[in-house]
Protein backbone atom coordinates (compact mmCIF):
# COMPACT_ATOMS: atom_id res chain seq x y z
CA UNK A 1 0.00 0.00 0.00
CA UNK A 2 2.78 2.42 0.91
CA UNK A 3 4.74 1.35 -2.16
CA UNK A 4 1.76 1.95 -4.45
CA UNK A 5 1.13 5.36 -2.86
CA UNK A 6 4.78 6.34 -3.36
CA UNK A 7 4.67 5.07 -6.96
CA UNK A 8 1.50 7.07 -7.77
CA UNK A 9 3.01 10.21 -6.21
CA UNK A 10 6.12 9.85 -8.34
CA UNK A 11 3.95 9.42 -11.45
CA UNK A 12 1.98 12.57 -10.61
CA UNK A 13 5.20 14.49 -10.00
CA UNK A 14 6.56 13.28 -13.34
CA UNK A 15 3.39 14.32 -15.16
CA UNK A 16 3.39 17.70 -13.43
CA UNK A 17 7.02 18.26 -14.36
CA UNK A 18 6.35 17.26 -17.95
CA UNK A 19 3.32 19.59 -18.11
CA UNK A 20 5.32 22.46 -16.62
CA UNK A 21 8.14 21.88 -19.10
CA UNK A 22 5.68 21.93 -22.00
CA UNK A 23 4.08 25.20 -20.89
CA UNK A 24 7.50 26.71 -20.24
CA UNK A 25 8.68 25.77 -23.73
CA UNK A 26 5.57 27.25 -25.37
CA UNK A 27 5.96 30.46 -23.35
CA UNK A 28 9.62 30.75 -24.37
CA UNK A 29 8.72 30.26 -28.03
CA UNK A 30 6.09 32.98 -27.84
CA UNK A 31 8.52 35.36 -26.15
CA UNK A 32 11.29 34.55 -28.62
CA UNK A 33 9.17 35.48 -31.63
CA UNK A 34 8.51 38.88 -30.07
CA UNK A 35 5.72 41.25 -30.94
CA UNK A 36 4.74 41.72 -34.52
CA UNK A 37 6.02 44.91 -36.01
CA UNK A 38 3.38 47.48 -36.70
CA UNK A 39 3.61 51.08 -37.68
CA UNK A 40 2.34 53.26 -34.87
CA UNK A 41 1.54 56.92 -35.12
CA UNK A 42 3.63 59.31 -33.08
CA UNK A 43 1.90 60.94 -30.13
CA UNK A 44 1.99 64.71 -29.77
CA UNK A 45 1.40 66.46 -26.45
CA UNK A 46 0.23 69.90 -25.47
CA UNK A 47 -0.61 71.30 -22.05
CA UNK A 48 -4.34 71.72 -21.57
CA UNK A 49 -5.66 75.28 -21.77
CA UNK A 50 -8.93 74.55 -19.95
CA UNK A 51 -7.89 72.20 -17.12
CA UNK A 52 -7.85 74.05 -13.78
CA UNK A 53 -5.94 73.10 -10.64
CA UNK A 54 -3.64 70.18 -9.88
CA UNK A 55 -4.12 67.19 -12.14
CA UNK A 56 -4.88 64.20 -9.89
CA UNK A 57 -6.93 62.04 -12.27
CA UNK A 58 -5.93 60.94 -15.77
CA UNK A 59 -9.62 60.30 -16.47
CA UNK A 60 -10.62 63.89 -15.68
CA UNK A 61 -7.67 65.22 -17.65
CA UNK A 62 -8.61 63.09 -20.65
CA UNK A 63 -12.22 64.30 -20.51
CA UNK A 64 -11.17 67.96 -20.53
CA UNK A 65 -8.70 67.30 -23.34
CA UNK A 66 -11.40 65.68 -25.49
CA UNK A 67 -13.45 68.89 -25.18
CA UNK A 68 -10.38 70.70 -26.57
CA UNK A 69 -10.29 68.41 -29.63
CA UNK A 70 -7.59 65.99 -28.45
CA UNK A 71 -7.91 62.20 -28.24
CA UNK A 72 -6.94 61.96 -24.56
CA UNK A 73 -4.70 63.26 -21.84
CA UNK A 74 -2.79 62.42 -18.69
CA UNK A 75 -1.26 64.04 -15.63
CA UNK A 76 2.49 64.59 -15.74
CA UNK A 77 5.33 66.26 -13.95
CA UNK A 78 6.18 67.37 -10.45
CA UNK A 79 3.59 70.15 -10.63
CA UNK A 80 0.92 67.66 -11.85
CA UNK A 81 -0.26 69.41 -14.99
CA UNK A 82 -2.73 68.02 -17.52
CA UNK A 83 -1.16 67.28 -20.89
CA UNK A 84 -3.42 66.52 -23.84
CA UNK A 85 -2.43 63.92 -26.43
CA UNK A 86 -3.27 63.23 -30.06
CA UNK A 87 -1.72 61.41 -33.00
CA UNK A 88 0.64 63.68 -34.95
Q: Across the 88 residues of the chain, what is the mean pLDDT of every consecutive 10-residue run?
A: 52 63 65 65 94 96 98 96 96
Spell out the residues 6+ positions from residue 41 whose beta carbon is closer than 8 angstroms to its own. 87, 88
Q: What is the per-residue pLDDT for 5?
A: 47
Same domain membership, residue 26 and residue 50: no
Same domain membership, residue 50 and residue 75: yes
Q: Do 76 and 59 form a contact (C-beta atoms < 8 A)?
A: no
Same domain membership, residue 4 and residue 24: yes
Q: What is the per-residue pLDDT for 13?
A: 57
Same domain membership, residue 29 and residue 52: no
Q: What is the per-residue pLDDT for 41?
A: 81
Q: What is the per-residue pLDDT for 40?
A: 76
Instruction: Tell me how far apart the alpha carbons of residues 44 and 13 are, in angstroms, rounded to a whole number.
Output: 54
**Domain range spanning residue 14?**
1-33
Per the domain annotation, does 68 fall within a domain?
A: yes
pTM above 0.85, yes or no: no
Q: What is the per-residue pLDDT for 30?
A: 63
Amino acid sequence: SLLSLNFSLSLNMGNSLRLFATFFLVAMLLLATGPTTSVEARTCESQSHHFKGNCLSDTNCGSVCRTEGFTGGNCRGFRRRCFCTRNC
